[in-house]
A and B are shown apart, each in its own frame.
Chain A
Amino acid sequence: MTATAVRPAGPAPSDLPHGVAGMPFAKAINAGLRAALASDDKVLLMGEDIGALGGVFRVTEGLQAEFGEDRVVDTPLAESGIVGTAIGLAMRGYRPVVEIQFDGFIFPAYDQITTQLAKIHFRTAGRIELPVVIRVPFGGGIGAIEHHSESPEALFAHTAGLRVVSPSSPQDAYTMIQEAVASPDPVLFLEPKGRYWEKGDVDLDAPVGVGAAARTLDHAAVVRPGTDVTVVAYGPTVHTALAAAKTAADEDGTSIEVVDLRSVSPVDVPTVVASVKKTGRCVVVHEAPTFHGVGAEIAARVTEECFYALEAPVLRVGGYHAPYPVAKLEHDYLPSVDRVLDAVDRVLAH
């Protein structure tokens, strides 16, 4: 059963006009969740502190008051229990949207996510679909203590059966959360928590694709066209890549094309390949450690598909093969505009 229709966006929240200028990222997710709850009675939110408190980042603010405690559920403090019961609810026809409070707290649920959620559709030869979304505030840059700044996407992208996506703008956040909820497949929805307060214009009438029409779940976006170097990023580092592109253009006229992957599983290979065939150079940027990371997969694929177009080796900019550092050192660990530009210079030197 694969729905391919494009349904209209859910009803607009009564307190917002249809186009909102300068909407914060977290509010855009909130609006997307509200639209999903309003358009389908089977949609449930579950997680720790998501009710009266509205979540530790207030992403679910006001939703329990609007939709009730049976649909916006404060769960016991047990991540495996949250995901495991969400699986059971999905088997019963519900569409749970689960919040894991922080990236570093997802691992108690790792078994349920990778062994059960990802594989039950395959295990049952397609008889059971599990439309479960796992929302995770991820990434660093907020000056937090340990376990609050990690980027575990590669661990999940390595597991077949999961979709792994990350929005980079309020508009994408609004659309992508609704497409994730409508997806018949489980989706790990990684929210760049360091960008929660950034604002962007959001069109609340933007169409929401269901099933195969859910374009944001597997289509990358060229968010800045360019001719000299392709910089591939997703989630929090798209902003960094765009800032680097602007700096490069201003300083010496280097033209960087920025590709926002949106989805790290699957990867929109044709869009990346088309860009690199044009520019001949590629830099991949993510906060996660580069070793065995998403950038390694992109580099291998680009090398295979663009070998004769490449002018330089594919470079990666990301975290180190070390645990996430203390807050006072995180800016040495995270990809910065300078580190991206350094990699751009290195690929241009070839």
Chain B
Amino acid sequence: MIEHSDELVQLVGPDGEPVVSEANAPYRERAARYLLDGPEPDAAAERLRGLYRDMALVRRFDVEATSLQRQGELALFPPLLGQEAAQVGSGRALRSQDYVFPSYREHGVAWTRGMDLADVMPIFRGVEHGGWDPAAHNFHIYTLVIGSHALHATGYAMGVQRDGLVGTGDAARDMAVVAYFGDGATSQGDVSEALGFAAVNNAPVVFFCQNNQWAISVPTAKQSRVPLARRAWGFGMPGVRVDGNDVVASWAVADEALERARSGGGPTFVEAVTYRMGAHTTSDDPTRYRTSDEEESWGRRDPIARVRAYLEKYDAWDDAREAALLAEADELGEHVRTTVRAMDAPPASRLFEHVYATPQAQVAAERAAFEAYEAGEPVSSPFEGLLDSPATTGGNR
């Protein structure tokens, strides 16, 4: 029997103070590797500085990308501003063999998978629909239709089960699959179907929901009358709420869910409670639907400032480190800027490439007609010669 709780798991509070309670004790134990008041403070500080660096660099990327859109270099950009802890914390709990199905705002997870963040940009510059090789970092391309990929993740996890890569006890082999989506997606039928399929198959999948409070202009209260994590309970899987602005807690809750998946314990739903500090995309205008009071209130819970305060409280951060990190961030910004500006439109032949994996007559004929038009030559019969031999006679009737 699964015990359910609405309790928000939190290990480091908004002002950088450690949070100790009976309820979070198992997570404190799990996350000891990052806790500055834990058994290995020096090693923990070194590791936590790693998470801080991740979040700072991802934010620098985010700011750069938003600027590039303003400069006309990108058609659109969906900023992750404010969601760095949920993404970096959960992303750093992944192993290299785990497979991730992101939505379209998971730039922070992409970073933890080892992707060059410039590779995220072809989609938003309008030169590719995908932009990277999913197999290179076990990080699928972004899915733009809300919630569709929760089913792909579940099916992928069902494949992992059939491959015998669950519960073998070999840490280098056992796999988990993660689907990232937001609060709005939980209203989609595909997400409900994914939870159902995952539960009855005991599939090794983690549904990591970043509840950033706003689905464009619609607040979470208009998606659900109950905390989103409870959606999982009726399907028979754990639904855990975590402070998504607490990178250590996000890591701990994700680590627990991933371990359950890899070991054959089945799916978990995580609701990471966070806030989209920026606009939905660069085309959005949050002033039309939310107050500056609300934004300021969440601004005081900034996930990056929180880690900085926590490190400083334990004398684990200093100006020299901050300066070095800023320099590194500027370097990343420069790299992204230069790379994006060099991304050219693909050749027009791309219109017809990869529509099918096998030769297809309709595409071939239209491509021939297009190329002839471009060359200024008339085309009389684009289908001629496309099939290698005349029709066969039918089967026995």
Contact = CB atoms under 8 A, between A and B. Distances in A.
B315 interface: no
A243 to B, nearest CB: 11
A124 B140 CA distance: 9
Number of chain B interface residues as a range = 35 or more
Contacts of A287: none
A170 B128 CA distance: 43
A240 interface: no
Contacts of B373: none
Contacts of A12: none
B196 A87 contact: no
A54 B196 CA distance: 23
A81 B386 contact: no
B197 A81 contact: yes
Contacts of A268: 361, 387, 391
A94 B135 contact: no
B134 A270 contact: no
Contacts of A305: 381, 383
A335 to B, nearest CB: 18
Given A84-B152, A88-B155, A91-B155, A221 B393 contact: yes
Interface string A109-124: 0011001100001111
A270 B383 contact: yes
Contacts of A252: none
A266 interface: yes
The listed residue with most A CB atoms (<10 A of its CB), out of B196, B356, B365, is B356
Bin chain A's interface residue count.
35 or more
Contacts, number: 201
B184 to A, nearest CB: 16
Interface centre among A85, A111, A123, A305 (most CB of B within 10 A): A85
A123 B154 contact: no
B365 A221 contact: no
A116 B148 contact: yes
A271 interface: yes
Contacts of A220: 391
B222 interface: no
Nearest to A170: B395
A175 interface: yes
Interface of A: 1-2, 70, 75-76, 78, 80-81, 83-94, 108, 111-112, 115-116, 121-129, 160-161, 163, 168-172, 175, 183-185, 200-203, 206, 211-212, 214-215, 218-223, 242, 259-260, 265-271, 273-274, 305
8 contacts: A2-B357, A85-B154, A92-B159, A111-B190, A122-B129, A124-B129, A270-B383, A273-B383
Given A127-B130, A200-B396, 5 more contacts: A81-B194, A87-B151, A88-B155, A89-B159, A121-B355
